[in-house]
Structure 1
Amino acid sequence: MSDRREAIVEGSIPRTLVGLALPLVAQNVVRVAQQVIDTFWLGRLGETAVAAVGLTIPVLGVCFALLVTPFVGTQILVSQRVGADDDAGAHRMVVHGFVLALLVGALVGGAVFLGAGPVVRLVGAGPDVAPLAALYLAVVALGLPLAGASDAVEAGFVGRGDSRASLWINVATVAVNVVLDPFLIFGWWVFPRLGVRGAALATVGGYAAGLCLALALALGPRMNLARRHLTLTAADFRDLLSVGAPITGRQVVSQSVRVLLVGVVALAGGAAGLAAYTIGARVASVAVLPSRGLGQAAQSMVGQNVGADRPDRARRTTRVGVAVAAGALAVLGAVQWLVPVPVARVFVPSLAGDGLALTVQYLTILAYGYPAIGVVDALLAGFNGASRTRTSFVADLLKYWTVRLPVAALALPATASVSLLGVTVAPGLDLGMPAVFWAVTGSNVVAAVGVGAYYAYAVRGGLFVDAAADVATAADESEAAAEPTD
């Protein structure tokens, strides 16, 4: 670990940043592959099974948003303490994140398990889909404590600069899930045929495997977690909640607007519009993987440099992260802009007619905003690494609720107001799907300009200098609180 810390606080920033980011990008690719393979096996059961599991995606998205608090809090605080050469404090923070994740996962999972039926009906499940959706959701909900605890330990590795351990944990999770899928779904070998329940159990089995590997790596020489690190303090839990909770709020904000946008698209564009919007969202989710990985890596590097009282390197890391992330997404955007039809048909080979025309239009417009996504990811990583996670929450709140949703609503018919999940949306201007497409890209560009301006202001005001001082104070207080009293 001393070698990694030296590279992060002393070595080449571009080389270290990219080296730390590559395993994180790879693990995101692994997760995307898992979704594709799950859909492949479920598709053999029929479209009802696929629809049932697909219906649970937004619900599980909200559940995992609640588990982001211990994940992000652990990553940031561990990185800061490692940077401050407080290895014992970093170990204790991993333990605190693990415990908090177990508690939050148990509370959320228990609530979802008990209310699975009403929840799936609330999100629109019909009588043919609701029983299977509720069954899948209830079983997966029981695995949320395992998933959350695994993620917290994984976050500890990323915070320490060991992103390869995070990759292996994700590979184990996905591999076990993928291998178990056909055995439990179709009853291969000695296993009973469980259908959708089997798919859910395979997912929970993957969570369990990931947690087992995470604990094995943490207790081994890779982290050397030991009994002496099991001291729990209220101060450390408060720090975790203070740093992590705003990111949970950020996730809830973005997820809620995405659900509302699907309703706007359905009303304004019909089946062809929904197809274009869905394909565009899937393409974008793959295209931004490099930016997300770079952002997570930059977050750990900024945290360690802040902890090491190197605010200058924290600032340079953020600047390099902006250049690399924006450049990578600009290249991907250019490819997408040049060949939108082949990109669309990678996802839906049979796409034609209005669906193809709208998809091509959306992919072209989306490409303009890709560099802005990279800029925002890197800048917010800088704020997060300095424990200013509330900035991320406010940025997404403004981006989604004051720009994206109001502009997208202009696509609605001008005849009357409509209600989307209980939210009344005023009459639109009947601008059609282009309004939705430009709302997405425009909100990304506006966010990049706004966050960039605020970042420049915050740096002049001592963003990283103040953060370094706060980390030093917090480390002293944590060490004193953890010492046994006579």
Structure 2
Amino acid sequence: MFDTDRAAITDGPVGRVLLALAAPLVAQNLVYVANALVDTFWLGRVSEDAVAAVGLSLPIQSLLGATVVVAAVGTQILVAQRAGGGDDADARRLAVNGALAAFAVTAAVAIPVVVYAEELVTLLGADPALAGVTATYLAIIVAVLPVGAVGDTVENCFTAYGDTRAVFRVTVLSVLVNLVAAPALIFGVGPLTGLGVAGAALSTALSGVVGLVHVLAYAAGIRRDTFRLTREAFALDVGALREIVSVGLPLGGQRGVSELVRVLVVGLVAIAGGAAGVAAYTVGARVATLAIVPAIGMQQAAQSMIGQNLGADAPRRARRTTTVGTGIVVAAFLALGVVQFLFAGQIADLLAPDLTAAGRELSVLYLRILAASYWGLGGTYTLLAGFNGASRTRTSFVADLIKYWAIRFPIAVAAVPATATFGAFGVAVAPGLGWGVEAVFWAVAVSNVAGFLGLGAYFLYTTRRGMFANAAERANDGGAADVADD
């Protein structure tokens, strides 16, 4: 059912091909979400400090994830364009150089983070007793970040070629390794002594290494023949590196600005809403993380499909892929929003049955506010896929800069009392207007809808000016550098 050959990507029914490509990616992202809960599940049986160590390290991990995006997604976009144009040799060359860029960029940030891990977590507010164990967890996770970045980049090359099932299989194996290794390393088994928090980090690191070996085996032609790296592709190419970074850097910036706002918003919620507000925000964030999984899968599939069609000199089909994908996601997320709105109370009770009355009331409110904006949140992902597939990745960066910093953050600041200040990483920010934690909830929803509407208007404007036609011309000329305005 989900088999998709390269000819179908550039010639088959758009909606059906998109869904076939996206299905394994949606499943992969669901597995990722489940994998992220493994450490919390097992460490919750160790101590409260052990769980807190994972939670405190997450903001830093999320920010560092922006560096992975630079090479991984930049490579995917360019490889898809080359694959669509039938230039497999150039696609392989880009893949190898993308993996090198991924390793170099992530290593450059990983080394100082490992060295100064304890100082970083202290800036996040960890007390001396918690800082040490948190720093240990963070240092181990970040030390293998370059390995994971290389694996993600090679996986994205399979996605670029339309082989999304290979990516799903790699992810499943990695998660299975983590599921088995985590309890063994945390609690000990046989002659092995339990390592606690360090064991959880080592388990995650081991699963990343296994995933890299698995995807490299596929790339060597073992059991897969959709995308294969040949000996001729292993050559450093400065031009390819420059092209990858020029496309991927704005996407890394996009990830960075959004993650930083999320860190600051958590501080706002803590001040304006106290424990009940933080609990409500956490419930909403967890539900939203699951909700956007289909949109992320559709975005990844659409980026590859758009890139291949541009490489095949089919700009109209690239545009249709964007509009059909957006229509599918908006319709699906409207339905999802209705369900969440109607059953917000039951969802809150399922995820957090021990909430106080105030916490439950705020959770239900936030879930319903979020539900009303889901269609905009989901549709934004596929619209951005259109710009990204056309190598206009700076649009993604600017769109998120406006969405998070010009819309979400200013509204959210209004939540805190006029007599209070807040901050993150040791930086204080001016007081707000005292509107209460509900202002944060509305800030998220308003930014989701306004971001989609603004991006949709800009999409119509750029496509009328020939964005996809120009992108197809650049792709077939071998130069896919992003252009601010066509």
TM-score, shorter chain, exceeding 0.5: yes
Aligned to 1:170: 171
TM normalised by structure 1 equals 0.95
2: CA distance, partners of 1:374 / 1:94: 29
Letter in 1 for 2:153: A
2: CA distance, partners of 1:292 / 1:344: 24
Letter in 1 for 2:466: G
- Any conservation in 1 of the 2:100–2:150 contact (CA below 8 Å)? yes
1: CA distance, partners of 2:156 / 2:316: 25
CA offsets, 1:27-80, max 9 Å, x none? 111011112222111111111101011111111111121111111111100100
Aligned to 1:297: 301
1: CA distance, partners of 2:237 / 2:72: 18
2: CA distance, partners of 1:426 / 1:199: 38
Q: Provide closer, same or farther for how the CA distance between residues 4 and 148 of structure 1 changes in structure 2, counting only shifts above 3 A.
A: same
**Alignment partner of 1:336 out of 328, 334, 340:** 340
**Alignment partner of 1:235 out of 235, 239, 263:** 239
Aligned to 1:18: 19
1: CA distance, partners of 2:111 / 2:428: 31
Identical residues among aligned pairs (%): 50
Letter in 1 for 2:194: R
Q: How does 1:189-338 map to 2 (within 5 A)?
A: 189-220=190-221, 221-338=225-342
Q: Provide closer, same or farther for how the CA distance between residues 107 and 418 of structure 1 changes in structure 2, counting only shifts above 3 A.
A: closer
Q: How does 1:7-406 map to 2 (within 5 A)?
A: 7-220=8-221, 221-406=225-410
TM normalised by structure 2 equals 0.95
2: CA distance, partners of 1:351 / 1:46: 20
Q: Provide closer, same or farther for how the CA distance between residues 93 and 195 of structure 1 changes in structure 2, counting only shifts above 3 A.
A: same
Letter in 2 for 1:315: R
Aligned to 1:434: 438
Q: Helix, strand or coil for the counterpart of 1:351?
A: coil
Letter in 1 for 2:436: G
Question: Is residue 461 of structure 2 the alignment partner of residue 460 of structure 1?
Answer: no
- Any conservation in 1 of the 2:53–2:130 contact (CA below 8 Å)? yes
- Any conservation in 1 of the 2:276–2:356 contact (CA below 8 Å)? no
Cα root mean square deviation, aligned? 1.6
- Any conservation in 2 of the 1:176–1:205 contact (CA below 8 Å)? yes
CA offsets, 1:225-269, max 9 Å, x none? 110111221110011001100011001100110111111111111
Q: Provide closer, same or farther for how the CA distance between residues 186 and 417 of structure 1 changes in structure 2, counting only shifts above 3 A.
A: closer
CA offsets, 1:92-123, max 9 Å, x none? 11111111112123222222111111111111
Q: Provide closer, same or farther for how the CA distance between residues 88 and 3 of structure 1 changes in structure 2, counting only shifts above 3 A.
A: farther
- Any conservation in 2 of the 1:67–1:101 contact (CA below 8 Å)? yes
Q: Helix, strand or coil for the counterpart of 1:34?
A: helix
- Structure 2's unaligned 5+ residue stretches are 482-486
2: CA distance, partners of 1:140 / 1:9: 39
Q: Provide closer, same or farther for how the CA distance between residues 476 and 78 of structure 1 changes in structure 2, counting only shifts above 3 A.
A: closer
Q: Which one is further off, 114-123 or 221-230?
A: 221-230
Letter in 2 for 1:6: A
- Any conservation in 1 of the 2:23–2:297 contact (CA below 8 Å)? yes
Q: Which one is further off, 133-142 or 363-372?
A: 133-142
2: CA distance, partners of 1:437 / 1:130: 30
Question: Is residue 437 of structure 2 the alignment partner of residue 451 of structure 1?
Answer: no
CA offsets, 1:160-179, max 9 Å, x none? 11111111111122111121
Q: Which one is further off, 211-220 or 169-178?
A: 169-178
Deviation at 1:418, TM superposition (A): 4.6
Aligned to 1:483: none
Q: Provide closer, same or farther for how the CA distance between residues 170 and 474 of structure 1 changes in structure 2, counting only shifts above 3 A.
A: same
1: CA distance, partners of 2:244 / 2:200: 33
Q: Provide closer, same or farther for how the CA distance between residues 326 and 3 of structure 1 changes in structure 2, counting only shifts above 3 A.
A: closer
Deviation at 1:373, TM superposition (A): 1.1
Q: Helix, strand or coil for the counterpart of 1:415?
A: coil
- Structure 1's unaligned 5+ residue stretches are 478-486
Aligned to 1:481: none
Q: Provide closer, same or farther for how the CA distance between residues 282 and 154 of structure 1 changes in structure 2, counting only shifts above 3 A.
A: same
- Any conservation in 2 of the 1:410–1:428 contact (CA below 8 Å)? yes
CA offsets, 1:270-319, max 9 Å, x none? 11011101110111010111111111111111111111100000010001
Q: Provide closer, same or farther for how the CA distance between residues 198 and 362 of structure 1 changes in structure 2, counting only shifts above 3 A.
A: same
Q: Helix, strand or coil for the counterpart of 1:45?
A: coil
2: CA distance, partners of 1:3 / 1:43: 42
CA offsets, 1:107-147, max 9 Å, x none? 22222111111111111111221111011111112211110
1: CA distance, partners of 2:10 / 2:376: 27
2: CA distance, partners of 1:383 / 1:292: 15
Q: Provide closer, same or farther for how the CA distance between residues 140 and 417 of structure 1 changes in structure 2, counting only shifts above 3 A.
A: closer
Q: Helix, strand or coil for the counterpart of 1:67?
A: helix
Letter in 2 for 1:290: P
2: CA distance, partners of 1:364 / 1:142: 40
CA offsets, 1:417-444, max 9 Å, x none? 5545455544322211221111100001
Q: How many residues align?
A: 476
- Any conservation in 1 of the 2:412–2:443 contact (CA below 8 Å)? yes
Q: Provide closer, same or farther for how the CA distance between residues 141 and 8 of structure 1 changes in structure 2, counting only shifts above 3 A.
A: same
1: CA distance, partners of 2:316 / 2:204: 43
Q: Provide closer, same or farther for how the CA distance between residues 426 and 108 of structure 1 changes in structure 2, counting only shifts above 3 A.
A: closer
Letter in 2 for 1:409: V
